[in-house]
């Protein structure tokens, strides 16, 4: 065990020891400047009377008296000017107060107060009932069967200002905290029941839900005993108390991840059914003996649950068990203490175990929230990992798809290039070379033949060159076209003005559509030379209405429509195949041919 772990255990032991000891040594201060009465005449329902010291217990766990009367005596030398009050730090079961034969309270108990009420009393003593000299104050209580023993603390007679601080402190600690603890217990119980409804197969939620339902039913018996109309339910409800204790063991085992024996769940049900059947057949022991058995069963069960938690916290290094050890230990400790107080073995005025229930449930819910957060963290990590793997796989598939497309396109282009190169080189290329050779023979009229042959050879070279072009390589194709065009125009005495700076980037360039664009430009230049005759040809690129535009201007003759010419028809067809159009318009001196193309060209395999 590391030093840090040892320090943690030492701190845990010290804190729990301090809290456990506080239940026995911490007491609330008594009022100052008041008449203290700690000896009274006690009368039980059997008619016996004796002097007793306060605090005093009666009823179950004490003398078994169903009713108790305490007669206190105090003297007044003179009638005080200020109002006098009587203060009792703790009185169980809402007592009736009688001053010199005048009833002050009737002792009626509201049903919501329950049998475990430990309430302070502060009541005015009316001047009409007070006398100079000896005054008698009677406190009458009714002890409910199967509840804790009745208790009366010392009485104090004094002015309101002297008694009020002690009363406020006790009313907060004994009556204000109890509803707060009950409200917290109710809210936490509802939260656990909702969790069980969503995850009924979870063992922990099942044990917690069973404990809440059974303990709530058992608590009904504590209230039913105080209401005559429902008094018959009390024995049946209280018969569930041993099962409540066993459920604590199940909860402890579920938290540490251990499974109870197979006979454990049937034992809980069988115990409850057996005790209820015993109540129905009236074969159980007397209520006092039965109450002692119930309390012992609950105390032993919660102690066993605490031992289970402690064992896994120490031996199994279970963090959750370590966290639950304090709530379980203090619950068991306070239950033992409260059982001793109820039986009159220990002195005490307030039962503490009811305040531990919401604390225990709060600790349970804190661990459940911890589990939820841990589960959400694991889910987030899993989602992140899954998203990363999915993104990586998508990128891999995209790359593979692109690679396959590139390979397929390269294969098709290679096959087409090989076929066209072979056919053109072996067929048309051979004939053109022969034509040039014959045209160069002496005595032949070589000019027309040579010109036609060279045009055919240029077209052949254009086709072959276009086969090597890739996507977005249109500027490269145009630059090569310009290099071949300059010598041709120089021989014809024509000046070329070329600028492609404004031409946008065009995608989808394939050998087919690149050849189509070059042939359109070639036809426009040929027409300028043939029908001009032009002396200056200007070719520039730009953007027009979001389209790539190539403009060919010449200073020759103005454009005239020729319906029988095939050159313009071919230009328009090629432009249409590319998703573009051809516009021809006359200039003040010459003709303008405008080629409009989309930014993304379609795939055209042949020109």
DSSP state letters, 414-469: HHHHHHHHHHIIIIIIHHHHHHHHHHTSTTS-HHHHHHHHHHHHHHHHHHHHHTT-
Mean pLDDT of 468-484: 82
Structure confidence at residue 568 (pLDDT): 83
Mean pLDDT of 552-564: 76
Helices (H), 315-352: 319-342
C-alpha angle with apex 229: 223 to 235, nearest 5 degrees?
Answer: 55
- Nearest by Cα to 313 from 358, 259, 258: 258
- Nearest by Cα to 121 from 67, 72, 157: 157
Higher-confidence position of 61 and 219: 219
pTM of the complete model: 0.54
Higher-confidence position of 374 and 464: 374
- Nearest by Cα to 70 from 102, 46, 38: 38
Residues 6+ positions from 180 with CB-CB distance below 8 Å: none
592: pLDDT confidence band, cut at 50, 70 and 90? very high
Residue 18 clears pLDDT 90, i.e. is over it: no
Structure confidence at residue 114 (pLDDT): 47
Which percentage of the chain shows pLDDT scores above 90?
22
Domains annotated for the chain, with CATH where assigned, are: 33-173 (2.60.120.260), 199-351 (no CATH), 471-607 (3.30.565.10)
DSSP E strand boundaries for 143-233: 150-152, 155-159
Residue 441 clears pLDDT 80, i.e. is over it: no
152: pLDDT confidence band, cut at 50, 70 and 90? confident
Task: Pick the range with the lowest mean pLDDT from 288-292, 405-409, 441-445, 537-541.
Answer: 441-445
113: pLDDT confidence band, cut at 50, 70 and 90? very low
C-alpha angle with apex 333: 330 to 334, nearest 5 degrees?
Answer: 85
Mean pLDDT of 539-564: 85
495, 500, 502, 508 alpha-carbon torsion, rounded to 10°: 140
Mean pLDDT of 445-467: 67
Q: What is the pLDDT of residues 241-251, one digit of tens each?
A: 889 889 989 98
Mean pLDDT of 17-41: 81
92: pLDDT confidence band, cut at 50, 70 and 90? low
146: pLDDT confidence band, cut at 50, 70 and 90? very low
Higher-confidence position of 442 and 575: 575
Mean pLDDT of 316-321: 74
C-alpha angle with apex 505: 499 to 511, nearest 5 degrees?
Answer: 95
Mean pLDDT of 257-273: 90
Q: What is the pLDDT of residues 341-392, one digit of tens each?
A: 666 666 666 667 766 777 777 787 788 788 788 888 999 999 999 999 999 9
Task: Pick the range with the lowest mean pLDDT from 121-135, 319-333, 533-547.
Answer: 319-333
Higher-confidence position of 464 and 486: 486
Residue 1 clears pLDDT 60, i.e. is over it: no
Residue 428 clears pLDDT 80, i.e. is over it: no
Structure confidence at residue 606 (pLDDT): 47
Task: Pick the range with the lowest mean pLDDT from 33-42, 188-197, 268-277.
Answer: 188-197
Structure confidence at residue 178 (pLDDT): 61
Question: What's the rounded Cα separation, in Å, for the pair 114 and 581?
Answer: 96
162, 166, 169, 173 alpha-carbon torsion, rounded to 10°: -150
Task: Pick the range with the lowest mean pLDDT from 55-59, 476-480, 572-576.
Answer: 55-59
Question: What's the rounded Cα separation, in Å, for the pair 525 and 538?
Answer: 10
């Amino acid at each position: 065990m590391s030093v840090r772990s040892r320090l943690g255990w030492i701190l845990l032991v010290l804190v729990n020891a301090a809290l456990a000891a506080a239940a026995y040594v911490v007491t609330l201060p008594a009022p100052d400047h008041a008449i203290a009465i700690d000896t009274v005449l006690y009368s039980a329902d059997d008619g016996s009377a004796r002097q007793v010291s306060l605090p005093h217990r009666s009823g179950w766990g004490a003398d078994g008296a169903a009713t108790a009367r305490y007669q206190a005596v105090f003297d007044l030398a003179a009638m005080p000017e200020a109002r006098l009050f009587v203060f009792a730090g703790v009185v169980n079961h809402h007592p009736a107060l009688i001053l010199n034969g005048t009833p002050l309270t009737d002792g009626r108990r509201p049903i919501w107060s329950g049998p475990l009420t430990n309430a302070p009393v502060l009541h005015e003593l009316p001047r009409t009932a007070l006398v100079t000299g000896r005054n008698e104050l009677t406190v009458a209580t009714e002890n409910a069967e199967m509840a804790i023993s009745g208790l009366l603390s010392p009485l104090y007679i004094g002015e309101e200002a002297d008694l009020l601080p002690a009363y406020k402190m006790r009313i907060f600690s004994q009556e204000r905290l109890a509803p707060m603890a009950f409200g917290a217990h109710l809210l936490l119980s509802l939260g656990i029941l909702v969790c069980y409804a969503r995850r009924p197969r979870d063992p922990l939620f099942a044990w917690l839900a069973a404990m809440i339902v059974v303990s709530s039913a058992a608590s009904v018996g504590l209230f039913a005993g105080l209401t005559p109309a429902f008094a018959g339910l009390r024995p049946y409800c209280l018969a569930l108390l041993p099962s409540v204790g066993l459920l604590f063991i199940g909860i402890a085992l579920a938290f540490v991840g251990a499974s109870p024996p197979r006979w454990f769940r049937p034992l809980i049900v069988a115990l409850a059914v057996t005790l209820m059947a015993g109540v129905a057949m009236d074969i159980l022991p007397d209520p006092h003996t039965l109450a002692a058995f119930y309390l012992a069963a609950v105390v032993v069960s919660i102690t066993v649950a605490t031992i289970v938690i402690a064992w896994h916290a120490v031996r199994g290094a279970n963090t959750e068990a370590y966290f639950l050890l304090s709530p379980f230990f203090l619950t068991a400790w306070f239950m033992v203490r409260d059982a001793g107080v109820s039986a009159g073995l220990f002195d005490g005025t307030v039962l503490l175990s009811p305040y531990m229930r919401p604390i225990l449930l709060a600790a349970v819910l804190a661990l459940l929230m911890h589990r939820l957060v841990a589960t959400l963290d694991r889910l987030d990590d899993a989602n992140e990992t899954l998203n990363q793997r999915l993104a990586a796989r998508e990128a891999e598939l995209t790359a593979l798809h692109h690679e396959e497309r590139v390979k397929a396109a390269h294969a098709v282009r290679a096959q087409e290039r090989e076929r066209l190169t072979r056919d053109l080189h072996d067929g048309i290329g051979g004939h053109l070379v022969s034509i040039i050779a014959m045209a160069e023979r002496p005595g032949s009229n070589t000019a027309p033949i040579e010109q036609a042959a060279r045009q055919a050879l240029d077209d052949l070279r254009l086709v072959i060159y276009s086969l090597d072009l890739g996507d977005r390589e249109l500027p490269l194709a145009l630059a090569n076209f310009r290099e071949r065009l300059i010598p041709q125009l120089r021989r014809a005495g024509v000046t070329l003005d070329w600028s492609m700076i404004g031409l946008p980037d065009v995608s989808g360039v394939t050998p087919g559509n690149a050849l189509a664009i070059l042939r359109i430009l070639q036809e426009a230049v040929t027409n300028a030379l043939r029908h001009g005759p032009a002396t200056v040809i200007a070719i520039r690129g730009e953007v027009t209405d979001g389209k790539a535009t190539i403009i060919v201007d010449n200073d020759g003759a103005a454009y005239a429509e020729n319906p029988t010419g095939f050159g313009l028809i071919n230009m328009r067809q090629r432009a249409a195949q590319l998703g573009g159009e051809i516009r021809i318009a006359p200039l003040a001196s010459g003709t303008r041919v405008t080629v409009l193309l989309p930014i993304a060209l379609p795939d055209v395999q042949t020109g």
